[in-house]
Amino acid sequence: MERVYNFAAGPAAMPEEVLRRAAEEMLCYQDSGMSVMEMSHRSAAYQRIFDHTVSLLRELMDIPSDYEVLLLQGGATGQFAAVPMNLLQTGADYVDSGHFAHAAMEEAKKYGPVRCASSSREEGYAGVPGKIQAQPGADYLYITTNNTIYGTCFPTLPETRPVPLVADMSSNILSAPCNVRRFGVIFAGAQKNIGPAGLTVVIVRRDLLGRARAETPAVFNWTVMAEKGSMLNTPPTYAIYMAGLCLEWLRAQGGVDAIYRRNRQKAALLYDYLDHSRLFYGTAKKESRSLMNVTFRTGEEALDAAFVREAAENGLCSLKGHRLTGGMRASIYNAMPVAGVEKLVSFMADFEKRQG
Please tell me the distance from the alpha carbon of residue 223 to that of residue 178, in angstroms, as a whole number.
Answer: 24
- Where does 15-144 have alpha helices with state H? 16-24, 44-61, 75-87, 99-108
For CATH 3.90.1150.10, list the domain ranges present in the chain: 255-354
| H or E element, residue 271 | helix 255-276
Q: What is the CATH number of domain 16-252?
A: 3.40.640.10
Per-residue pLDDT, 115: 97
In three-state secondary structure terms, 219 is: helix
Per-residue pLDDT, 348: 98
Please report how many Cα atoms fall inside a 13 Å half-sphere around the Cα of residue 77, on the Cβ side: 7
Please tell me the distance from the alpha carbon of residue 173 to that of residue 145, in angstroms, as a whole number.
Answer: 9
3 state SS for 107-157? HHCCCCCEEEEEECHHHCCCCCCCCCCCCCCCCCEEEECEECCCCEECCCC
For CATH 3.40.640.10, list the domain ranges present in the chain: 16-252
In three-state secondary structure terms, 220 is: helix
Q: How many helices (H) and strands (E) does the chain have?
A: 9, 14
Cβ-contact 125, 98 below 8 angstroms: yes
| pLDDT mean for each 10 residues of the chain (356 residues) | 95 98 98 97 97 98 98 97 98 98 98 97 95 92 98 95 97 98 98 98 98 97 98 97 98 98 98 98 98 98 98 98 97 98 98 93
Please tell me the distance from the alpha carbon of residue 243 to that of residue 247, in angstroms, as a whole number.
Answer: 6
Please report how many Cα atoms fall inside a 13 Å half-sphere around the Cα of residue 299, on the Cβ side: 6
Per-residue pLDDT, 130: 85
Per-residue pLDDT, 131: 84
Q: Which residues have CB under 8 Å from 212's CB, separation 6+?
A: 85, 86, 221, 222, 223, 224
Residues 255-354, CATH architecture: Alpha-Beta Complex (3.90)
Residue 295 has φ and ψ, to the nearest 5°, of: -105, 135
Torsion sign across C-alpha atoms 172, 174, 179, 185: positive
| H or E element, residue 282 | strand 281-282
Please tell me the distance from the alpha carbon of residue 296 to that of residue 278, in angstroms, as a whole number.
Answer: 13
Eight-state DSSP code of residue 159: P
Cβ-contact 18, 249 below 8 angstroms: yes
Per-residue pLDDT, 1: 77
Please tell me the distance from the alpha carbon of residue 276 to that of residue 281, in angstroms, as a whole number.
Answer: 9
Please tell me the distance from the alpha carbon of residue 307 to that of residue 301, in angstroms, as a whole number.
Answer: 10
